[in-house]
Structure 1
Amino acid sequence: MAADANPPSNAAQMASPSYRLAALDEDFLLGDSMRGVRFLLEYAKAEEALRAWGVRSTIVVFGSARIGEKGPGRHAGWYAAAREFGKIASERGGAILRNGGPRDNVIATGGGPGIMEAANRGASEAGAPTVGFNITLPFEQEPNAYSTPDLTFRFHYFAMRKMHLAMRANALVVFPGGFGTFDELFELLTLRQTQKAPPIPIVLFDEAYWRAAINFDVLVAEGMIHPSDLDIFRFAESAEGVWKCLLDCGLKPGEDIT
């Protein structure tokens, strides 16, 4: 039988979404069925970069994005303290290494402005790598200019971002903040209270702020928490005070080259 002189075109097949390579098919990858895969990708991408930089452990710093270097009232003081603490922890904690070994107590933040910027800034000024775990928001958050570019990440899923913030944390330092800061703080407090996380030090900066914002004694008096739950965290009033609290609570500095 003679060959068809005008074979049918396969243009429709070539153009079909089903013919795309799965790894290059954005519509497929962003579909509902691939949500688990996207979770895995957000985990794996940051994990690979952190390992490449030898980041074995971190000190996580939370606090308001609305606090500026020249802000009103106590804002400027909070910013300055977070910046100083980022520098102190980076110089003394083991984030700066010359021998290519693992880095410990690397400053990690949510990557945005305010207290996050201040802590990343102090670490950068110490010559240490510093991590920014950014989140995609309706009003786009941009990374601050002080997190190490190779360690500046962006997440779609809050859950995966929180996991990365917690999983390497040797300590948590929380400066004054609002809903987001409270969310992150109570997440870690709950993990500690339920013993789902190691007994890492948790330090709240500026006791007057925290006592005014949260009546911890009422939680105890009403039986909502056990009195011993208040031992999970401490207060500090200066950058040096934060560092001392962390050491007193068992933080182990890595190699110190200063």
Structure 2
Amino acid sequence: MTPEEQALANQAQVASPSYRLAAKDSDFILGDSMRGVRFLMEYAKAEEALRAWGVRSTLVVFGSARVGADGEGRHSYWYEQARQFGRLASERGGAFKGSPGEPRDNVIATGGGPGIMQAANQGAHEAGAPSIGFNVTLPHEQFPNPWSTPELTFQFHYFAMRKMHLAMRANALVVFPGGFGTLDELFEILTLRQTGKAPPIPIVLFDEAYWRSVVNFDALIEHGMVKASDMDLFAFADDAETVWTKLLEGGLKPGADIE
């Protein structure tokens, strides 16, 4: 059989999806049986990039995507304070890397989208420091804000892996006003802290009046759902400078002080 005849003879075999290299077969990789592998890939891709940038620890900022710099009521204030916090925390926390091999600490990390997330990334950018955006795919697409460091701007399919990356390097959590998503992220970290599944990192809720109006902490204690001592898991602050002070009081160490 000539080479030409051979090529014609096995066309069906070569064209079959089963003949594709597994690593290049998108139908296979995106199939149900590879869900665990995709989960691992989402972990590994972000992990590799963060290590390459020397990111040892982060300061995670949560808050509403619906808050804008020109928003009504308290919205513009929340945005500006998140922006100021992103800047001062980047300047004081250790996000700047000195000599080769020196790690970055307390790098601002957000969910990568608009609103409060954008404000915190913007503040870090204005300080000249890198910051992280952990985006997630949504039915109505979320697009990354323009202020997170491009090489540290990620996109996740799985909320669980995104949450893991947000939590695993966190030296502290700052939670600005937000809705369901912000509440979800806040209470997940509080639960991990309450149960001892996460290290004792400081947690600061921004704008005490807002948080006390949307969460009746006293009722939780009154009904025996939480202990009064559980309120020590977090503190309140009403401006960016006080947030930083509360983080330091809660045990946060700037990069230069981390051994």
Query: Shorter chain as normaliser: what TM range?
Result: over 0.9
Deviations 1:75-106 (A, max 9, x none): 00000000000001000000012213100000
Shift in alpha-carbon separation, 1:131–1:6, aligned structure 2, 3 A = closer
Shift of 1:21: 0.4
SS in structure 1 at match of 2:9: coil
Q: What displacement does 1:9 show?
A: 1.2
* C-alpha separation in 1, matches of 2:62 and 2:16: 47
Structure 1 residue 18 displacement after superposition = 0.5
Report which stretch shifted further, 146-155 or 95-104.
95-104
Aligned equivalents of 1:6 and 1:209: distance in 2?
A: 76
The CA deviation at 1:63 is 0.1
State the partner residue of 1:79: 79
**Structure 2: tracts of 5 or more residues without a match:** none
Map 1:223-242 → 2, pairs under 5 A: 223-242=224-243
The percent identity for this pair of structures is 74
Quote the Cα distance in structure 2 between the aligned partners of 1:23 and 1:97: 36
List gaps (5 residues or longer) in structure 1: none
How far apart are the structure 2 equivalents of 1:28 and 1:226?
A: 49
| Alpha-carbon distance between aligned partners in 1 of 2:256 and 2:149, rounded to the nearest angstrom | 20
Q: Normalized against structure 1, the TM-score is what? A: 0.96
Give the alignment of 1:95-114 within 5 angstroms: 95-100=95-100, 101-114=102-115
Equivalent residue for 1:89? 89
> Partner of 1:139: helix, strand, or coil?
coil
Match of 1:42 in 2: 42
Q: Distance in 2 between matches of 1:227 and 1:18?
A: 60
- Matches of residues 46-85 of structure 1 in structure 2 within 5 Å? 46-85=46-85
- Number of the residue aligned with 2:139: 138
The Cα offsets for residues 94-135 of structure 1, whole Å up to 9 and x where unpaired, read as 001221310000000000000000000000100100000000
Task: Specify the SS of the correspondent of 2:177.
Answer: coil
Distance in 1 (CA, whole Å) between partners of 2:203 and 2:9 is 66
How many residues end up aligned between the 2 structures? 254
Q: Which string of whole-angstrom CA distances, capped at 9 and with x for unpartnered residues, describes residues 43-62 of structure 1?
A: 00000000000000000000
Indicate the RMSD between aligned Cα atoms, in angstroms: 1.3
Give the counterpart letter for 1:218 in structure 2.
A
Structure 1 residue 6: deviation in Å? 5.2
Give the Å deviation of 1:65.
Answer: 0.1
